Structure 1
Amino acid sequence: MPAFRPAPARLPAGRRIYAVGDIHGCADRLAALHGLIAADHAARPGPSGLLLHLGDFVDKGGDSAGVLRWMTGAALPRNLAVKNLTGNHEVAMLAALEGGPGDVADWLWCGGRATLESYGLSPEAAAADWAAAIPPAHQAFLQGLDLFHQEGGYCFVHAGLRPGTPFPAQAPEDLTRIRQPFLSWTGPHDFVVVHGHTARAEPEVLPNRINLDTAAWSGGPLTCAVLEEDRIGFLFA
């Protein structure tokens, strides 16, 4: 059972959200974390549960193909609805698979080489060859990701929000890529923002945001925040 503490916002009574930070090709850790999530939800039945991933499934780590195979398979925790958000790395990968030279270079620079290698593909091959070799189910998964999820007092996005901009006017580019001025902003947003994108040694819980990127691909844990009513706990793999 997670060790709970007060959270900066709340969910409706009878609701629980498991929010998972940046995965970046860590397939074994993702499977282990899903096991912990399933065990926790089974041990504490009652609340309606949602398993939510904050994006950046691919790149950097060693097994992006394994992550997408897991996410498109039948082994996800039962009795939980699932919602998946897009990160900047999914946006970059899809753009590169369409073959624009600048998009290809951008994706390879930001971690795409590791993803291609996990499929046994050469970074020097043509983008059309990559697209033909990556399973259609994996590409459809990437194309079907959502930009955000809002529930209770929380807004879940990959990167963050632009301070001072009403939520309906937020740009998709900011939701998937923003760092500043979001990270240094100490004022309120319309919601408490649950995000990843910017790696830290441990989760950050601040009055206006919660950061769940703990650099799993470079040796940190893969982190899941467990949110229910007015409290938060963590699971790590």
Structure 2
Amino acid sequence: MNRASAAPSRSISASAPADTRIYAVGDIHGRADLLSEIIARIDDDIRRRPIAHAVEVYLGDYIDRGPHSRAVLDLLAVRLVANGAVCLRGNHEAVMEGFLQDPAILQYWQQLGGMQTLASYGVELHDGTETASDVHRRFLDVFPRAHELVMQCLRNRFSCGDFLFVHAGIRPGVPIEHQDANDLIWIRDEFLDCTRNHERFVVHGHTPVPHPDIRSNRINIDTCAWRTGTLTCIAIEGSTILFL
């Protein structure tokens, strides 16, 4: 697996709680191979550098585009149960949740890479021979109970110390507790262009960057894993961000 081309560590003004290390993982998009390597690195890092509290945060967009969405959710289901991992909702999970409720969303989901997700569950689309309702029915038949539970556990945001973890970003000037869920999983320019400090230092993904992008008020760790082969994981301890 390629590592992001960034400095091995950086110091920032925000701080994690004492005796706590936070591991944050960027957008996965069906790359179970890369996620397996990152999980092994996290486990190895904890073995080499024991700490009282290790927190895993996955920033969303686990599915679509890459080839192994089902396997990604299998891995996350284990981390949720065994490690109490925090799994955030990405916009791609939100769209799949919509399709699970409404077959009419299939066409929109296909535009976002949903065909790759369906294929990972063995649901191949037959052009012109079945309706969206047919595809919906077949998907529900093979969607595991464990994955339903993962979806039920998804959060829109997570705070720890001076850090706020979200998928896409926040609406500048709006208190965290009043943030709209759609902004947390979809926002781009209004957040990315904002240079003033927020209530907390924001860790996010959603908008692909060639390497982790550290600003004074945020860090973006979506390094487009499905296409580049680079899945970014950072470890935050005190005021230091370490790149695994």
TM class, shorter-chain normalised? over 0.9
Of the three residues 216, 227, 233, the one matched with 1:224 is: 233
- Separation (CA, whole Å) in 2 of partners of 1:81 and 1:48: 11
Q: Counterpart of 1:21? A: 26
Q: CA separation in 1, counterparts of 2:51 and 2:71?
A: 32
Q: How far 1:5 sits from its partner (Å)? A: 2.1
CA–CA distance in structure 2, aligned partners of residues 117 and 100 of structure 1: 16
Name the SS for the 1:106 alignment partner.
Answer: helix
User: For 1:92, what is the secondary structure of its paired residue?
Assistant: helix
Secondary structure of the structure 1 residue equivalent to 2:207: coil
Bigger helix share = 2
In the TM superposition, 1:118-197 aligns within 5 A as 118-124=120-126, 125-197=134-206
Q: For structure 2, which runs of at least 5 residues remain unmatched after alignment? A: 1-6, 127-133
Helix, strand or coil: the match of 2:222? coil
Find the aligned partners of 1:92 and 1:22 in 2 and give their Cα distance. Answer: 15
> Against the structure 1 CA distance between its residues 35 and 77, is the aligned structure 2 distance closer, same or farther, given a 3 Å change threshold?
farther
Over the residues paired in the alignment, what is the CA RMSD in angstroms? 1.8
- Opposite residue 128 of structure 1, the aligned amino acid is R
Q: Conserved in 1, the CA contact under 8 Å of 2:63 and 2:117?
A: yes
Of the structure 1 ranges 154-163 and 128-137, higher mean CA displacement relative to structure 2 is found in 128-137
Taking the aligned partners of 1:184 and 1:24, their CA distance within structure 2 comes to: 25
Q: What's the offset of the Cα at 1:82? A: 1.3
Alpha-carbon contact 1:54-1:156 (below 8 Å) kept = yes
The sequence identity of aligned pairs, in percent, is 39
Question: What residue in structure 1 maps to residue 91 of structure 2?
Answer: 88
Q: For the Cα contact (< 8 Å) 1:163–1:189, is it kept in 2?
A: yes
1 CA distance for matches of 2:192 and 2:154?
24
What CA distance in whole angstroms lies between the structure 2 residues aligned with 1:70 and 1:11?
26
1:84 to partner: Cα distance = 0.9
Call closer, same or farther: CA 1:65–1:77 in 2, change over 3 Å: closer
2:117 aligned with 1:115, yes or no? yes
Mapped to 2, the partners of 1:107 and 1:78 lie a distance apart of 28
Q: CA–CA distance in 2 between the matches of 1:6 and 1:222?
A: 21
1:79 Cα deviation from its structure 2 partner? 8.3
| 1:36 equivalenced with 2:38 (yes/no) | no
Q: Which string of whole-angstrom CA distances, capped at 9 and with x for unpartnered residues, describes residues 193-224 of structure 1?
A: 10000000100111111101000000241011
Matches within 5 A, 1:190-209: 190-209=199-218
Listed one character per residue, the Cα deviations across residues 54-99 of structure 1 (whole Å, up to 9, x for unaligned) are 11111110100111122223xx499854111110100100111212
Equivalent residue for 1:97, pick from 97, 100, 105: 100
Task: Determine if contact 2:59/2:87 at 8 Å carries over to the other structure.
Answer: yes
Aligned length: 231
The CA deviation at 1:8 is: 3.8
1:48 aligned to which of 29, 49, 53: 53
Question: What does residue 58 of structure 1 align with?
Answer: 63
The answer to whether the 8 Å contact 2:21/2:51 transfers is no
1:6 has 2:8 as partner = no
What is the rounded CA distance, in whole Å, between the counterparts of 1:217 and 1:71 in structure 2? 17
TM-score (norm 2): 0.90
Contact map agreement 1:54 1:195 (CA 8 A) in 2 = yes
SS in 2 for 1:72: helix
| Cα distance in 2 for residues equivalent to 1:6 and 1:169 | 29
In the TM superposition, what is the alpha-carbon distance from 1:175 to its structure 2 partner?
0.4
For 2:231, give the aligned amino acid.
L
